[in-house]
Amino acid sequence: MVSQTVDKIILIEKQAAEKEALAHMKSEQIISEANEKAQEIIAEATCESKMETAGLIQRNITEINEIIENNNNASLSETAKIKTNAQDRKEKAINIVIDKIISR
């Protein structure tokens, strides 16, 4: 009877060790799967972030180009006004000189 009890204890300890090993394997598998899933999530987030960044950069480039074009147009307009004013003043000066010459 004592040997049967000892045999049962040994069997129970063996089963417990097997269950513990199985639990350890399952936990390692769960951890591995979680790591893989985390890597997938990080890769997706990185990709989305890069796409969003590229979109923002493109939008900024477009806005900068519009600002530059607007400033260039404003500069050309201002330059044309200055040239027109200079031409008008030049003509007035010439007319004044001609008037002075004629009036002598």
In a domain, 31, yes or no: yes
How many structural domains compose the chain? 1
User: Tell me, what's the pLDDT at 100?
Assistant: 86
In a domain, 20, yes or no: yes
The pLDDT tens digits of the residues spanning 41-70 come to 999 999 999 999 999 999 999 999 999 999
For residue 87, count CB atoms less than 10 angstroms from its CB and return exposed for 0-12, middle for 13-18, buried for 19 or more: exposed
The pLDDT tens digits of the residues spanning 75-90 come to 999 999 999 999 999 9
Sign, Cα dihedral of 65, 71, 73, 79: negative
In a domain, 87, yes or no: no
Q: Write down the pTM of the prediction.
A: 0.55
User: Tell me, what's the pLDDT at 70?
Assistant: 95
In a domain, 46, yes or no: yes
In a domain, 33, yes or no: yes
Mean pLDDT (whole number) for 27-34: 98
7 — pLDDT class (breaks 50, 70, 90): confident
104: pLDDT strictly greater than 80: no
In a domain, 41, yes or no: yes
Mean pLDDT of the chain: 94
Residue-range definition of the domain harbouring residue 67: 1-78
In a domain, 89, yes or no: no
In a domain, 100, yes or no: no
Q: In degrees, to the nearest 5, what angle opens at C-alpha 87 toward C-alphas 85 and 93? A: 100
Q: Which two tokens stand for residue 17?
A: 């060790």
